[in-house]
Structures are given as structure tokens and as C-alpha cells.
A = this chain, B = another copy of it.
Amino acid sequence: MGGDYAPANAVLGAVEAANENSGIDLFLVGKEKAILQVLNENKISFDKQKIINADEVIEMSDSPTSALKTKPNSSIVIGAKLVKDKQADAFVSAGNTGAMMAASTLIMGRLKGCSRPTIGATFPTAKDTFCLVYDVGASVDCKPSHLYEYALMGSIFVKEIFGIQKPTVGLLSVGEEETKGNEVTFATHKLLKESHLNFVGNVEGRDILKGTTDIVVCDGFVGNIILKFAESFMGTLKSTLKSYAEKGIMNKLKALVTKITLKGALKKFDYQTYGGVPLLGVNGISIIGHGSSSALAIKNMVLRAKEMHDKNLIQKFEESLKAYAESK
């Protein structure tokens, strides 16, 4: 029931994923009537037993943690419980991000050795690679050991999902030199340098889009601000082009060509392609999508969840976190 186009996009995307990968055993969690309507309207046959009714809806405006208590019959709470109770292997939603994080953390529980779960963002780069930035909003105040855990889990994720054997890790700071930064980055730098991770040192704001490293770690305060800043860039470009087009017919033509060209050239900047991002560090697969997720985004999220399951990612996170906790 989450997201701006629920339940239509969620149902259509998830069904498409299940059609594409027969290894997916799909449950649809939400208002049964609404789900059935989408299925009927789109002439999709779906086993009714696998529709799990959830009468309540956590709205985007609801306070995450209190909503878990006041709306126990919401799709977010019920979905997280399915994973907790081992009835499902993964949970995917485009609903209230805070509620998804809270439900996954509190209901599924944290992995042993994980102090703080983290949510990342996938940035396309000038090198045609991806840069994954952790954390972008789960934690606003991070200790060096939290940032270390992000680097650890991020490295496993990038290795397994993107097939990069030794993903490079950068620590976001205000200068490349080890001496540039604040108290938290100094201590984190030391931790990362002494680790087995492929740490290349401090990176700066410009390195994310340049693609200097596969992974960039920062606290959720900085990461969230950068993510939202980046998301607003396209909107600004669009409105700038619009006002440019209003200044005469030649401008209008040029703006039109530009719009078409950018749409093609910047396809990789469209987050729908990678869907959503998993919350790392919880005891189960939980993938959180953008509120405006398309059916394609939802489909890719479901396929990603399946891939994470097939590759045993949760177990791999747990083993690494345990080894780190024991080494401390």
C-alpha cells in the first residue's frame, strides 16, 4: 500500500517480477479489495491465498515509530512480520521510508554485531559505474564504528551484486589528505586503513559522481542532504530549460532537442532502473523504494530481493559483522 501509486504499481511490478523469475513465490500484502481490483482491471490471474490482507495504511506523513504501534495491521508491519516469522524471505515496499526502516529494524531485528542498520543510495558516475553512498538517512549521528560497519556491509553488497571483487571504499570528507576532516572522520580513517577492506582514503564531494570509488561512507546527515540535493538537480535543470524555451521560437526548438537528448543520455540517472535500496544490517531482506516508484522500479526491487536471497547476503553480512565485533 506504500508509495504514490499504490497499490497499482506495486501489484503490477511485483507480478511482472514473479512472471520473469519463476523462483519467486510472491505474496501481495495490502488491502485485499484494492489489490483484487488492480488484478482484475489488468486481467491478471493470481492465487487469492497469497493475498495477505492489511487493512491499515501508514501514510507518508505518519510518524514512523508511533505508526508501528497505532497501525499494527498496516502492510509495512505485516510484511516485516512475515519475514520475522520466516513465512517470507524478503519484504519490498515503496512506502514511508522511516516506517520501513523502523519496522525492519524493530520487527526483523538487527543482525548480531550490527550497531546500526544503514540505507544506501546508488549514484551513477561519469565512468559509467555506480557509486553506493552509505548512509543516506538511517542515522544522523554516526560513530566511527558505525561508518566502519557501513563500509563492511557495503563492500559485501557491491561485491555480490555488482560482481566487483574488491570494491574500493572512500571516506567522505573535506579534503583528500588524512588530516582533513572532523573528529569522526579522523578516527574512521584509522579504522578503515587498518582493516582488510579496499580503503583508498578520504574522498571529496566531487568524487561521488566522478566515480572515484565504488563505495563512499558518510553519516546519514550528510548523505541524506547530498541525496536530496542531487535529486533536485534534474528538476532545476528542467525548470531552467523551460524558462529558456519561453524566450523565442529558436530557444524553444533548442530546448526541445536538449530535453530529448538529455532524456536519452541521462537514462542512467533514472533511479527507476535500480528500483530501491536494501536496508543493510537487519535480520532479513528489506528493500525500500522511492515513494514515486514505477511498476518497473518495483519489479527491479523484487528481482533484487530474490538475488540477495539466492546469494545468501544476510548470512554473509552476519559473518563479517561477527568477525569485526570479535576483533574489537
Chain A contacts to B: CB under 8 angstroms: 125-126, 128, 137, 140-141, 172-174, 181-183, 204-210, 218, 220-222, 224-233, 235-237, 239-241, 243-244, 251, 254-255, 257-258, 260-262, 264-266, 268
Chain B residues near A241 (CB-CB < 8 A): 261, 265
Residues of chain B within 8 A (CB-CB) of A181 are 140, 221
Residues of B within 8 A of A228 (CB): 204-206
Distance (Å) between the CB of A115 and the closest chain B CB?
Answer: 17
A-B contact pairs, 24 of them (CB 8 A): A126-B236, A140-B182, A141-B182, A141-B183, A173-B221, A181-B221, A205-B232, A208-B229, A209-B229, A209-B232, A209-B233, A209-B236, A210-B235, A210-B236, A218-B225, A222-B222, A229-B230, A240-B265, A244-B264, A254-B260, A255-B261, A255-B265, A258-B261, A258-B262
- A contacts with B: majority SS: helix
Q: CA–CA, A224 to B172, complex, Å?
A: 11
In the bound assembly, the distance between CA atoms of A205 and B182 in angstroms comes to: 21
> With A126-B236, A261-B257 in contact, is A227–B243 under 8 Å at CB?
no
Rounded to whole angstroms, the CA-CA distance of A156 and B229 in the bound complex is 26
Quick check: B224 and A174 within 8 Å, CB to CB? yes
Given the interface pairs A140-B181, A236-B125, the reply to whether A227 lies near B244 with Cβ below 8 Å is no
- A221 contacts across to B, CB distance below 8 A: 173-174, 181-182, 222
Chain B residues with CB below 8 A from A182, complex form: 140-141, 221
A225 touches B205 (CB 8 A): yes
In angstroms, Cα B268 to Cα A254, docked, is 18
CB <8 Å contact, B222 and A204: no
A181–B222 alpha-carbon span in the complex (Å): 11
- Which chain B residues border A204 with CB–CB below 8 Å? 224-225, 228
| Complex CA distance for A210 and B239, rounded to whole angstroms | 10
With A258-B262, A265-B240 known as contacts, the answer to whether A233 contacts B232 (CB < 8 A) is no
Most central of A173, A230, A243 by chain B CB within 10 Å: A230
* A205-B227 contact, Cβ under 8 Å, with A126-B240, A258-B258, A261-B255: yes
Once the chains bind, are B235 and A126 in contact (CB under 8 Å)?
A: yes
Residues of B within 8 A of A126 (CB): 235-236, 239-240
A123 to B235: give the CA distance in the assembly, Å. 15
CB neighbours of A140 from chain B (8 A): 174, 181-182
Q: A232 contacts B206, CB within 8 Å?
A: yes
Given A244-B261, A261-B244, A261-B254, residue A226 in contact with residue B224 (CB < 8 A): no
Q: How far is the CB of A169 from chain B (nearest CB, A)?
A: 17
CB of A64, distance to nearest CB on chain B (Å): 11
B-chain residues with CB within 8 Å of residue A265 when the two chains form the complex: 240-241, 244, 255, 258
Interface centre among A222, A229, A260 (most CB of B within 10 A): A229
